[in-house]
A and B are shown apart, each in its own frame.
With several copies, the nearest count.
Chain A
Amino acid sequence: MHDESGRIEETRCLGENYYLLKVFAPQIAREAKPGNFVMLRVSPTWEPLLRRPFGILQSQPPHIWLYFQVKGRGTTLLKDRQAGDRLDILGPLGNAFPELPDQKILLIAGGRGIVPLFHYAKNYAARQPLLLLYGGRGAADLKLLAELDAMPLLEKYIFSEDGSCGEKGPLTEGLEKIVREQRPQATMACGPEAMLAALAGMLRAKKLDNYASLEAVMGCGFGVCHSCAVAAADGRYRKVCADGPVFPLEEIQWPI
């Protein structure tokens, strides 16, 4: 865990509201694992006050890549920052998706939820069979397809709600069939709450190891502020930043 003074090396708009950031951050890059996240100070001022959490798209020391969607104030400021700007970046934070080197794994990504799964695929696709189920509202939400094509994934299933890319419909519509035909041993998912909740319902009966990476409002990112509480199935709270962001899907109380 480092509070690193990084530097933006490249910022690229991938159409509409999506941006790719290449950041020089050697200490973090060296340690980053798929599933880890970072907390960025989007501006050197005290407003906005809090850092913002982002997943790590890939890591090639001394660089990491971030991929983000403009949502509000912080991400708007971030997209306007330029190559050469200093960037305070805290990480790598949280746990990682488990390494299951001998297993066939289905990665399930909703929209910008692709981020940690892209990282997983990048690191492990060459050594084991990985399937990807990737969905979004439309083609604009599925911008990383070209980069994913370059990876040796066993299979890719693309869904979009408006039909502009891949099959029409939510990605959950593809799940049953993929699981039945491909018989993965584990699933790893990241995406909107509603999607994760739906997955939890659909995967409950199947005998798979299921993992999900969660989001939450984060004040600190390293376990001290207690803001990122998520209710677990045992009725107690977990900290998404320190106990997660990756949890066994069954550990969480759905819908959160």
Chain B
Amino acid sequence: MADLSVDLGFCRLKNPLIPASGTFGYGEEFVPFMDLDIIGALVLKGIYRNARPGNPPPRLFETPAGLLNSIGLAGPGADELQGVIRRLSATTRTPIIVNVCGQDDAEFAEVAGIFAAMPEVAMLELNISCPNIKRGGACPAQDEKHTYRLVKRVKENIAKPLIVKLSPNAADIVAVARAAQEAGADALSLVNTFLGLAVDLEKRRPVFANTLAGLSGPAIKPLALRLVWEVCRQVRIPVIGMGGITSGKDVLEYILVGASAVQIGTVNFCEPAAAVRILAELEKEMEKLRLNNLNEIKGKLAV
């Protein structure tokens, strides 16, 4: 059997498959469908300092092979999440990644500090790329200067490995990636959702109160794969690729363009045991391609 483990530099994962933030709840919801120990790591739903109600419904809109969401990071606050994490870490040895959010730089730093201090948390993912908070979809990851400043501030405050999650809606995602790297990010993850619009013909209004929403799912895969490839070529730190992954082949494609690991998002809604199927497919596909380990293909795209 092939060796599925991957190296993120600061830690090794038993395999590259990581359920993405906001699509895997707090892990516990998936216990009826899988053994949480089988996945490489898992990212919890994004967390702010305080509980948030989220955006008014509707919050989801289906598009062809895609999904627009404007959840607005509904959920409990950091205090409550700590309890959830302790419970979760008692049920699985899979590394837990906390997706850190903030309405301003200070909140990002504070929330990061809280979870960096928890021994149950393996690493943090800094969500500077959520399009559903500010009107017009603005987020720190659209601006390389803001990204640099924010990542530096957060990083100075913590000892835990920090993944910085990038937005596909930046004018120049490579510049933002470099800024995060220079500021001390240990790894990058991309992409968050693409800004899209859905309208209601009868009401003559946007479907979402926030007007724009974030597109995810199979529809975005060719776009996300391109962005991951471009970033991988330009940075030295590990990259976690995502966007529309639904199969073992998709996982290998992201690794071929240079990703060290991947996240799976929307597919978890369609198929709660998606991770189990995708892992099995990944093994079969590696066998077909006669790969003994993922390093043999990582970043080997010949252009």
Chains A and B come from one and the same complex: yes
Separation in Å of the A178 CB from the closest CB of chain B?
33
Q: When the two chains form their complex, are residues B60 and A225 in contact, meaning their CB atoms are under 8 A apart?
A: yes
Q: Which of A42-50, A102-110, A119-127, A156-164 contacts B (4 or more CB under 8 A)?
A: A42-50
- The verdict on A226 contacting chain B, using a C-beta distance below 8 Å, is yes
Contact with B54, one of A49, A219, A237 (Cβ below 8 angstroms): A237
Q: When the two chains form their complex, are residues B268 and A224 in contact, meaning their CB atoms are under 8 A apart?
A: yes
Q: When the two chains form their complex, are residues A51 and B74 in contact, meaning their CB atoms are under 8 A apart?
A: no
Give the docked Cα–Cα distance between A219 and B75 (Å): 16
- The verdict on B206 contacting chain A, using a C-beta distance below 8 Å, is no
- Counting contact residues on chain B (CB < 8 A from A), the size range is 35 or more
Q: Which of B24-32, B179-187, B291-299 contacts A (4 or more CB under 8 A)?
A: B24-32
Contact with A237, one of B61, B65, B74 (Cβ below 8 angstroms): B74
Q: Which of B5-13, B90-98, B269-277 contacts A (4 or more CB under 8 A)?
A: B269-277
- The verdict on B71 contacting chain A, using a C-beta distance below 8 Å, is yes
**How would residues 216 to 228 of chain B score, 1 for a CB under 8 Å from any chain A CB and 0 otherwise?**
0110000000000
- The verdict on B62 contacting chain A, using a C-beta distance below 8 Å, is yes
Give the docked Cα–Cα distance between A21 and B223 (Å): 37
Q: When the two chains form their complex, are residues B65 and A219 in contact, meaning their CB atoms are under 8 A apart?
A: no
Q: A residues within 8 A CB of B61? A: 217
Q: B residues within 8 A CB of A48? A: 62
Give the docked Cα–Cα distance between A211 and B280 (Å): 44
Beyond A50-B269, A224-B268, A237-B53, is A217–B29 a contact (Cβ under 8 Å)? Answer: no
Contact with B71, one of A1, A47, A226 (Cβ below 8 angstroms): A226
Give the docked Cα–Cα distance between A216 and B56 (Å): 12
Give the docked Cα–Cα distance between A88 and B271 (Å): 9
Contact with B65, one of A47, A88, A225 (Cβ below 8 angstroms): A47
Separation in Å of the B196 CB from the closest CB of chain A?
14
- The verdict on A212 contacting chain B, using a C-beta distance below 8 Å, is no
Q: When the two chains form their complex, are residues B64 and A223 in contact, meaning their CB atoms are under 8 A apart?
A: no
Give the docked Cα–Cα distance between A235 and B67 (Å): 27
Beyond A1-B32, A227-B57, is A49–B62 a contact (Cβ under 8 Å)? Answer: yes
- Name A80-108 residues within 8 Å CB distance of B: 88, 90
The residue among B25, B60, B75, B273 with the most chain A CB atoms within 10 A of its own CB is: B60
Contact with A49, one of B22, B53, B217, B273 (Cβ below 8 angstroms): B217
Residues of chain A touching chain B, judged by Cβ–Cβ distance below 8 Å, are 1-3, 41, 46-51, 88, 90, 216-217, 219-220, 222-231, 236-237
20 A–B contacts, CB within 8 A, in A order? A1-B33, A41-B270, A46-B65, A46-B246, A47-B65, A49-B217, A50-B60, A50-B269, A50-B270, A88-B271, A217-B60, A219-B269, A223-B25, A224-B23, A225-B23, A225-B60, A226-B75, A227-B57, A227-B71, A229-B54
